[in-house]
Each structure stands twice: as C-alpha cells, then as structure tokens.
Structure 1
Amino acid sequence: MVIISFKKSRKIGRNSFSITGQIFSVKNNSLIEFESQLERNLTYLLERRREVSMYCEQPIEIEYFDGNIKRKYIPDFYVQYQDGNQEIIEVKYEKDLLEKKDLLEPKFKAARELCSSNHLTFKILTEKEINTARMFNSKFLANYKTPRFKTNLGDIEYILDTLGKLEQTTIINLINECSSDDNRKAELLFHLWYLVSNYLINFNEEEKLSMNTLIWK
C-alpha cells in the first residue's frame, strides 16, 4: 500500500531558472512550497476548490527502472477530495512534455502503475488546464479569504440584505445600490470580495471576475 508523506519527499530549493517560493494554505493550515509558476497557480486552484479536502506537495518517492538503471521520481502534488478520491498530480508545461518525452515517460509509467494498484489517479496538468479564468479568480480571492484588516459585521449584513432584495445583479450595480459615496463604495467592495472569497456570495467560477460579474446569494 502506498504511503503519502506530508513531510515532502524532496526539499525544494531556490532555482534561478524558475519561480520558487511558498504560499500559506488556509485549507491545510501550513505552508505549501512551489518551484514553478504553474505549481504556484495550481496551489491557488486547489485552495479555492471546495471539493478538495486537503493536498500536499512532493508527496511520494517512486522508484523505477530506466533501462537497467534504478531511478527515483517524485511527483508534484497529492490531492484528496471530499468524496474520498485521491490523485497524484504532475505539473508540466506542454513544451517540456514534448521536448523531454523520452525522459519523462518512464517516470509517468511508474506513477500510473503505482496509482492503478493503490486506488489513486495519476494526472498530468499543463498550462492549458491550470492558467484559466478559474485560476485568476482563485488567486485574486485568496487575498480576501483571511484579510489582514478586520471585517465589519454591519457592512457584511448590509451587503447580503441588499443583494437578497435584488436576488441577482452585477457587482457594480450592488455597490452602487448600497452607496453613492466613493469612499463608502471602496469599503463595501472590500467586504464584498470577502463574502465572495468565502462562498457567501456566488458567481460563475469559470468566468473571469470583473465589476460586471453577475452575483447572487
């Protein structure tokens, strides 16, 4: 039976050829390390998706043979879903998949075999699946989920009450309905993004957020 490590099977260091860093995961209450822009963007997506119960990076070390040489492969992410399904995810740019096909395929074959025998799914994600409107929304809203500034319960209730009367409207229309003062609108917009980021106000997650986005309770 495969054992997923939450201590990271490989330490991520600084890299002059790609973006590396850390993001605090509210979902996991821990820091998540990344070593590429794509990995960082996937982290934002995983944080936002409600069906994801938890995830971790560099989860497992997989041994495989490349010819007669024994090698090790560490995929990028492990994801556990609310319904019990589990995935091992590798993140790669499409260009790298094409240019490094011969090098990567033995690794991926070993990962597929391990996942198949352990009730896991192995998935390869590229920029096409990751760099989407949903990712843009996830990254933007991450700044408001646990804001540095205190929220005002009165403003939150006022926004929700006003939206309830309108039933469905755009963000700009709701803010204009709540106030005609520009400074007040800015305060209310901060609270509106907080409500959206915490799923108290809904919108179409597949469309890029804007002031003209349609919202509802």
Structure 2
Amino acid sequence: MKLQVETTKESEKKSQGVINPRLNITKEDANFVKRVREISLKSFSLSGVINIDQLKNPIQFESSLERDYIFLLEYDQTVKQYLEQPLKIKYIDNNKKQRTYIPDFIVEHFDNRPTELIEIKYTSTLKAKKDELEQKFKAARKYCQRNNLIFKVADEIHIREDRATELYNYKFLHRYKNYFHNINKDRTAFPILNENLVLLRTKLKELKKCTVSELVAHSAKDSDKQAELIFLTWYMVSNNFIKIDLTKKLTLNSIICLD
C-alpha cells in the first residue's frame, strides 16, 4: 500500500479532536492522551497526516523529516507508545515575555529507560534559529527534570543517515502492511489469500530458517505463483507474522524465520 498522506482541509478536519489511545501515562501539567495542537497546512513545507495502520488514528506531521521519524517509531519494536504534539511547556524568554513551547513527540519504551520528549529539526534550522530554540530547549530540559523525562533533539543525521537502512526497510514494508485491508472490502479474495498464507507459514515451519527466495521456491514452481508469494511474504513480514533482521537492507536473500 502506498503511503497515505492527506493534506486537504477535509482530512485536517477529520483528524481534529481525535482522542489518541496510544498513550495512557499522566504527568504534572501535561496532556498525554490528546494532541494539544492541531497541525495546519503550510504552503512552504510538507505537512499532513499519515495512516500507518488502519486500526490507529492518523498521525500528524509538519515536515518530511517528522514523517520519516514516524516510520522509525512505528516499526521500532522497543517503542511502546507515542503521541505527536503532546504537551505545552510555558517559559519566560530573554525579553521577559511568556512563551509556550510544544515538543513534537513524546515516546515511551518497553524497557526501563525514561520517557522521552523529542524535538525534530533540520540542522540548518538549528543553526539559523539557535538563540530562539535554545530558550525553548532550556525550558524543555527543566520540565523533563521535574517530571523524570529525557529531552532529545533529532535531526536529519540521526533520522536519515544513522538509521538509513532501517528507514529504507520501514518505508519498503509500509506498502504491504495494510494492502488487503484496502482492496478486499467485500472479502471475496480472503479464502485464496488465507490458503496462500497458510502455505507459506507451513513451508517456513518445515524449513525453520531460509531466505525469502528459498521459501518461495519451495512453496511453488510456477513463476506467476512465486511472484504472488513474494508479495505475500513481505506482507507477512510487515505485519510481524515472519521475523527478519530489519537492521540489514531487505532483499530476496534476507533470512526469515517464524520465531
């Protein structure tokens, strides 16, 4: 399935006021359940909403860098839950005026590390608005100290260079993740679909560990059938029915297994 990005006023209206069930933690002076700010469309930057999963609410973003970070969050198995535009932090700037700062994301992990407040910025913006941003970041660090949180700034180096392979894999898998939710509304194709999924799972259980190519070759001899099974294999990988190493670039020679 292609990335579903909506940037129309109608889609923006649909996303406003949506209660987000992904976070249920509470902290002092913070709203971790519903966005505190709705992201509006801008003519000078890419903004909109992304439907990663049909069972979840659309996720808002203000830049392509934020959109890429959402992919990292959604497919990272260590991430328990997160929310965009999560809370307001009030502070006094250098001109003695009261300001409000809203971090881009709050992220909670499955392990015992502190919950993180994340700001997404390009390195060029960090340099151009250094003084203004440092006041906001200082207020965020103080807020985090009071609430046992960690504040981090993620730029394109962290998102697109340090994690380039993972990001490539996540974007690649996204096209398969919800494919059958969209084309099979009448459910007519599900019997054949289920039969082929069972075939792949049964064969992989026999092989225990193999490449994508090996699984398909052992499951069918016809080239058209093999092409269909390759698609279904990636569908199963994207929905965590099959295990694979996502730190390495996905190819037909990638090793897969059930456990």
Same fold (TM over 0.5): yes
Q: Structure 2 CA distance, aligned partners of 1:121 and 1:28?
A: 29
In structure 2, give the amino acid aligned to 1:73: Y
1:37 aligns with 2:69: no
For structure 1, the 5+ residue unaligned runs are none
1:73 maps to: 101
How big is each residue's C-alpha offset from its partner over 1:130-171, in whole Å with a ceiling of 9 and x where there is no partner?
A: 222112222222232332245522211211222233332221
SS of 1:117's partner is helix
Map of 1:132-151 to 2, 5 A cutoff?
A: 132-147=164-179, 148-150=182-184
Q: Percent identity?
A: 38
Does structure 1 conserve the Cα–Cα contact (< 8 Å) formed by 2:169 and 2:249?
yes
How big is each residue's C-alpha offset from its partner over 1:8-29, in whole Å with a ceiling of 9 and x where there is no partner?
A: 2222111122211111243972
1:77 is displaced (CA, Å) by 0.7
Does structure 2 conserve the Cα–Cα contact (< 8 Å) formed by 1:90 and 1:124?
yes
1:168 aligns with 2:196: no
In structure 2, give the amino acid aligned to 1:35: E
1:212 is displaced (CA, Å) by 2.2
1:58 maps to: 85
Misfit runs of 4+, over 6 Å = none
- Give RMSD over aligned pairs: 2.0
Q: Structure 2 CA distance, aligned partners of 1:215 and 1:122?
A: 36
Map of 1:1-217 to 2, 5 A cutoff?
A: 1-26=28-53, 29-67=56-94, 68-83=96-111, 85-131=114-160, 132-147=164-179, 148-150=182-184, 152-217=193-258
Number of residue-to-residue matches in the alignment: 217
SS of 2:30's partner is coil
Q: Quick check: which one's strand share is greater?
A: 1
Q: TM-score, normalised by structure 2?
A: 0.77
